[in-house]
Amino acid sequence: MRSVLLALLLLAPVPALAQRPETLDEKERTELLATREAAWRAWFSGDRATLEAMLPPDFIGIGWGGGAWNNRESSLAESETFARGGGKLTLLEFPRTEIQVYGDVAVVYSDYKVGYSTGGEPVIQSGRATEVFVRRGGRWLHPAWHLDSGK
């Protein structure tokens, strides 16, 4: 009886998150990283249509400056305010990126460096990003991000 129970336990399905992360093929990786870059560029340019297509209604964003967490509407509003105020993206780099994929969920860890001007003043910001992506209908949605200074 013990042998049967042991065999059943060994053959039982393992929860997806206890398994090793999957690997994206080159095309999938390229699409995912293009989605990430498009999200950053859309935010800095105030591109509401792109962000609305990418950020689901339950979006959560934690920005690099502390303060309140953003939902979809507050993130869209901050993006538009930045762009309307004359803010411009001048630099976007991701010197290090690691990706974990579990089914249709990808977690992208990055070091980032972003340059922008606001009010005529140049700013360079660097730090770390943890971004969540979910594949739905053959495309990547971006339901969450968390940025920090890396300090």
pLDDT at 17 over 70: no
- Per-residue model confidence as pLDDT tens digits over 68-112: 899 999 999 999 999 999 999 999 999 999 999 999 999 999 999
* 101-136 burial code (b ≥16 CB/10 A, e <16): beeebbebebebebebeeeeeeeeeeebbebbbebe
- Per-residue model confidence as pLDDT tens digits over 111-146: 999 999 998 899 999 999 999 999 999 999 999 999
pLDDT at 8 over 60: no
Predicted pLDDT of residue 67: 83
DSSP string of 15-69, one letter each residue: PGGGSPPB---HHHHHHHHHHHHHHHHHHHHT-HHHHHHHS-TT-EEE-TT-SSP
Q: For residue 10, what pLDDT band results from cuts at 50, 70 and 90? A: very low
Hey, what amino acid is at 63?
Answer: G
